[in-house]
A and B are shown apart, each in its own frame.
Chain A
């Protein structure tokens, strides 16, 4: 019986864990969308940029080294041996917060009254800019990311259940859960959290009670930056820091379509559903049709889902008024 097949559980749990990673990236989207109605296509690139910056600090890289060499002939690639991971993480976080500020000032403010689709395309532009800047600053070669997380298969699980599950993925799941829990606590119980919820509900009303839109956006994009940093670290530790990291953003899209763009629990459940669905489909049906179905399965699933429920599982119903 399939439920007793350890392979089934291995695939299932592996799917769940992958799903957690997706959910993490999707979370960043949901936060920004809730607070500013913007669908941030650049979320994946933010994760990539954050990871690149982290590695850069960790290994003592000089930013823009390659460019400086080309233009001025300077041959400096490293300023030393790097810095301890904790410090690197903190500095990276500061960079992300500063980046959030720049984004709000340069991109968001001028576009404040535009329709969603224009903002969406602006974030596509932003994604390209960030990708280019990230590559220019830190180089485009694949980098290894090590933040001291446990690696290798979980011996405990392997010995007791015969399942091969990466410790890294378990850590990622734990971190993600802590992050989500803190975010929910933050949004429910702190003053800033309340302000964020107010802005998400109604921009005008929030403005009229004295909440500064720009500050809120900065906070939201910074939190997204934090989520991006965590996502970048998790994905980077798993598969190395490289361009394909930004493509994860594309994967988060079906997650959002399933879970609805405005729901945090939706992002989680959507992520898990996609993660499990993908792995299951590829494992059981993939071999019959040539494999590599993970490239498109998530999208097809989301598409079919949308046809029956255009607003996703938890999203708000779109009511058309004349």
Chain B
């Protein structure tokens, strides 16, 4: 079901939701004999928080990987900012303004928190090799401009005290926060979060939810997140896509999804056609 570009509207709590930012049309993804995603289409509107939910193995992470450019679907198209995406490598897609976090944390274990988040600024830094080798002048200035932005993110996420710690040594919850910081540092138009709350306790989940909402409200960043905790989804998502066995079985607001019998059946394990 494709939604043509619509006018922007304001939500109840004052956020501005714009036209379609990203749209996937008819995506089919296969690995050898296994079909991970079958003919899925949905859209993500600018400024909204879109949740992707579904039982394990539904193909949600694979969907994010397709949006990221890491997997190339056998069929289907990805439209970003109203343009059909040409075949691109993941690093080129990063320059388009899409950032993400990973289920199993993909931080650079040998670097500090600060350095990790600084890597997120990569797409915004461009000084050449010679300039960098000589340091004084343009390279140094660029470094400090970006360092300032990163420090603001560090303040925002309240991780000042672990700034210089090697991330490999941090506890799981903090690593997830650092990874979020790295994704934010890219100032993305679209932020993809793969189970950002996995393995967290109630307090940590509240913190993380607050960060996500703040990012969405303050910076207007569009967020798509994969999440298992239905409470979180109900609270923070504007719209939800439900996947099961690689197919889309629901698409609407959290309230609509909660009442959808097909979705309920899927979660209860009742087989459907």
Where the two chains meet, the residues of A that have a C-beta atom closer than 8 Å to any C-beta of B are 322
For residue B71, give the distance in angstroms from its CB to the closest CB of chain A. 9
Inter-chain contacts of B106 with A (CB < 8 A):
322
5 interchain pairs, CB-CB under 8 A: A322-B61, A322-B65, A322-B70, A322-B102, A322-B106
Inter-chain contacts of B65 with A (CB < 8 A):
322
Inter-chain contacts of B61 with A (CB < 8 A):
322
B87-112 interface code vs A (CB 8 A; 1 in, 0 out): 00000000000000010001000000
For residue B60, give the distance in angstroms from its CB to the closest CB of chain A. 13
Inter-chain contacts of B102 with A (CB < 8 A):
322
Give the distance in Å from the alpha carbon of A322 to the alpha carbon of B195 in the complex: 13
Inter-chain contacts of A322 with B (CB < 8 A):
61, 65, 70, 102, 106
Give the distance in Å from the alpha carbon of A82 to the alpha carbon of B173 in the complex: 67
Number of interface residues of B (CB under 8 A): 5
Give the distance in Å from the alpha carbon of A322 to the alpha carbon of B65 in the complex: 9
Q: Which residue of B lies closest to A321 (CB)?
A: B104
Q: Which residue of A lies closest to B103 (CB)?
A: A322
For residue A114, give the distance in angstroms from its CB to the closest CB of chain B. 13
Q: Which residue of A lies closest to B194 (CB)?
A: A322
Q: Which residue of B lies closest to A319 (CB)?
A: B31
For residue A221, give the distance in angstroms from its CB to the closest CB of chain B. 30
Q: Which residue of A lies closest to B90 (CB)?
A: A322
Give the distance in Å from the alpha carbon of A55 to the alpha carbon of B215 in the complex: 74
Give the distance in Å from the alpha carbon of A322 to the alpha carbon of B106 in the complex: 8
For residue B179, give the distance in angstroms from its CB to the closest CB of chain A. 13
For residue A257, give the distance in angstroms from its CB to the closest CB of chain B. 26
Q: Which residue of A lies closest to B100 (CB)?
A: A322
Tell me the chain B residues, 60-77 only, with Cβ under 8 Å from chain A.
Answer: 61, 65, 70
Tell me the chain B residues, 34-90 only, with Cβ under 8 Å from chain A.
Answer: 61, 65, 70
Q: Which residue of A lies closest to B71 (CB)?
A: A322
Tell me the chain B residues, 180-238 only, with Cβ under 8 Å from chain A.
Answer: none
Q: Which residue of A lies closest to B61 (CB)?
A: A322
Q: Which residue of B lies closest to A320 (CB)?
A: B70
Inter-chain contacts of B70 with A (CB < 8 A):
322
Q: Which residue of A lies closest to B106 (CB)?
A: A322
For residue B63, give the distance in angstroms from its CB to the closest CB of chain A. 13
Which 3 pairs, one residue from A and one from B, show the smallest C-beta to C-beta distance?
A: A322-B70, A322-B102, A322-B65
Give the distance in Å from the alpha carbon of A21 to the alpha carbon of B61 in the complex: 48
Give the distance in Å from the alpha carbon of A322 to the alpha carbon of B61 in the complex: 9
For residue A316, give the distance in angstroms from its CB to the closest CB of chain B. 15
For residue A322, give the distance in angstroms from its CB to the closest CB of chain B. 6
Give the distance in Å from the alpha carbon of A322 to the alpha carbon of B102 in the complex: 8
Q: Which residue of A lies closest to B64 (CB)?
A: A322
Give the distance in Å from the alpha carbon of A322 to the alpha carbon of B63 in the complex: 12
Give the distance in Å from the alpha carbon of A322 to the alpha carbon of B100 in the complex: 12
Q: Which residue of A lies closest to B104 (CB)?
A: A322
For residue B104, give the distance in angstroms from its CB to the closest CB of chain A. 8
For residue A318, give the distance in angstroms from its CB to the closest CB of chain B. 15
Give the distance in Å from the alpha carbon of A322 to the alpha carbon of B90 in the complex: 13
For residue B4, give the distance in angstroms from its CB to the closest CB of chain A. 33
For residue B164, give the distance in angstroms from its CB to the closest CB of chain A. 24
For residue A115, give the distance in angstroms from its CB to the closest CB of chain B. 11
For residue A209, give the distance in angstroms from its CB to the closest CB of chain B. 26
Give the distance in Å from the alpha carbon of A153 to the alpha carbon of B70 in the complex: 60
Give the distance in Å from the alpha carbon of A322 to the alpha carbon of B62 in the complex: 9
For residue B44, give the distance in angstroms from its CB to the closest CB of chain A. 20
For residue B166, give the distance in angstroms from its CB to the closest CB of chain A. 16
For residue B107, give the distance in angstroms from its CB to the closest CB of chain A. 13
For residue B48, give the distance in angstroms from its CB to the closest CB of chain A. 25
For residue B69, give the distance in angstroms from its CB to the closest CB of chain A. 12
Give the distance in Å from the alpha carbon of A207 to the alpha carbon of B121 in the complex: 43
